[in-house]
Amino acid sequence: MGTPVIAGLGTAQPPAAMQDELWTGFFARHFQGNTRALAERIFANSGVTRRQAAVNPLLEDVSEWPTERRMRRYQVEALPLGKEAVSRALTAAGLDAADIGMFVVCSCTGYATPGLDILLARDLGMSPSTQRMFVGHMGCYAALPGLGAASDFVTARGRPALLLCAELTSLHIQPPGARVDTQQIVSHALFSDAAVAAVVVPGGRGYALREVTSVTDTSTADHMTWDVTDTGFRMGLSPKVPQVLSRHVRELIDELLARHGCDRSDVDGWAVHPGGPRILNVVERELALPPHGLAASRGTLAEHGNCSSPTVLLILDRLWRTEPSPPRWVVMLAFGPGLTLYAALLERVG
């Protein structure tokens, strides 16, 4: 049937705002009392210079909105963003929407039925026989199991598949409060909005998906949570997350590479999800990466923030556009609830 190959990527993002403008124009008054000084330090050390927001708090404060209103807005904002990303990915791969045999959509920031998978398939002209899969509440690592499902379909059926990751974290700003809540400050300082689509085809030119693998440490399931509340979705993020990653990341990556006759020195492209500066520092240390090894991840964090599931695809897009030539071997690595580590090995072909 042919090796599954990522033949095209498409990105779409709402308007950007500078991190310092978001702080002075909104969050400086959103955090109250003793919390404000702590929040200012976290914002300043977040590694984020600018980020994108479909619902910009400088223009529209949603922090007191009920969840129902946020979900209605999700559909309004996510549909055109997803359409733009998908259209660009199809163009890059030289395909039409009618060619797609499976459409996988990942999102943990909004829910509605009919969902993005159905509405986009309709609006873009996909075949009525196109199979669909919606992946929700996997958080920041969802792109990798999404790619795995798409590639399995391509391998089994010999037809193209399409993955879309679309997140609107800007809809989930929590109400202000005087109580110190470091987890909420961190999430408000890091998260951003984006949509990225990837077309996977049987063979051809692009990045061959050699393997997707994962490990989950269920003993730390409470370290990362995403709770549906009456005022949107609320992030729970333990400061112990980097410690858990440090216990598992080296073995996960080394075993993945060994199965393909490689080691870390062969990898010339690292697409590591920037859950924050500490996450990247831990991965860099545990994998003994060179100083420039995570430049694409740090650059993406600085320019786009943490966009949840689309972020690792944004980094891959950045690596793909490397001049004079993209890297041959790319490791994608992302983390999320579970705690779960997902990794994928890509090889440039064609």
Where helices occur in 206-240 by DSSP H, the ranges are none
CB atoms near residue 239 (< 10 Å) = 11
Catalytic residue check, 307: no
Residue 94 main-chain phi, psi, to 5 deg: 70, 35
Type of residue found at 292: H
Q: Give the Cα separation of 73 and 52 in Å (integer).
A: 16
DSSP H or E run through 21: helix 19-22
CB-based contact 74:168 (threshold 8 Å)? yes
Q: Give the Cα separation of 234 and 239 in Å (integer).
A: 16
| Burial group, residue 179, by CB count within 10 angstroms (0-12, 13-18, 19+) | exposed
Q: Give the Cα separation of 181 and 209 in Å (integer).
A: 40
Q: Catalytic one among 106, 108, 140, 307? A: 140
3-state helix, strand, coil in the chain (%, to 5): 45, 25, 30
CB-based contact 83:116 (threshold 8 Å)? no
Tell me the three state secondary structure of residue 271. Answer: strand
CB atoms near residue 155 (< 10 Å) = 16
Query: DSSP for 30-93?
Result: HB-TTHHHHHHHHHHTSS-SEEE-SS-TTT---TT--HHHHHHHHHHHHHHHHHHHHHHHHHHH
Q: Give the Cα separation of 115 and 7 in Å (integer).
A: 25
Type of residue found at 128: P
DSSP H or E run through 335: strand 329-336
DSSP H or E run through 5: strand 4-12
Would you name the residues annotated as active-site residues? Answer: 140
